[in-house]
Amino acid sequence: MLNQKIKDKITKNSISLEGYGLNDLAWSKENAKSLITEIMKDKIGILGGDVYRLTPKRLEPLSDNWSCEPQETESEEEYYSRSKSESLKYIENYPVEPEEKIIFSITFTEKIEQ
């Protein structure tokens, strides 16, 4: 069960995708980077995520994504740390044009109830 403090960090500044038919949350590039930095020491990992373009009329999947699987040789804490570092690096390096509204949905190791 996800502790309320972590859940609050995750849902703060999130964008609900329910209006687009997805039961998911997403974040702008800056908010995603801030979120991952903020949860870096928390006991939660990131399995991966998807990238979307948000337009006034629709949510456009960009077929860009990342994933991070646990390795047999690492502890849970090591996986959590590595998964967040790799996710942060992916998001930081993702090219976004100033006029584009690119958002990142993130899949955590724990279910985030909205």
Would 113 be classed as within a structural domain? no
Among candidate residues 114, 112, 90, 113, the one with its CA nearest the CA of residue 42: 112
Chain position carrying tokens 């959590």? 80
Q: Would residue 92 count as lying in a domain? A: yes
What mean pLDDT do residues 52-81 have?
94
- Tell me, what's the pLDDT at 38? 95
- Classify residue 38: in a domain, yes or no: yes
Q: Confirm whether 56 is domain-assigned.
A: yes
Total structural domains within the chain: 1
- Stronger pLDDT, 99 or 89, i.e. the higher one: 89
Give domain status of residue 114, yes or no. no
Asked if residue 79 is part of any domain, the answer here is: yes
* Cα 47 from Cα 104, distance rounded (Å): 13
Find the domain containing 80 and state its range.
4-108
Residue 16 falls inside a structural domain: yes
- Mean pLDDT (whole number) for 42-70: 95
Give the pLDDT mean for 57-75.
Answer: 95
Q: What is the CATH number of the domain that holds 41?
A: 3.30.190
Its pTM stands at: 0.92
Percent of the chain with pLDDT over 90: 84
* pLDDT for position 96: 93
DSSP 14: -
| Average pLDDT over the chain, rounded to an integer | 93
Which two structure tokens, joined as six digits, stand for 46? 């990131």
In a domain, residue 13? The reply is yes
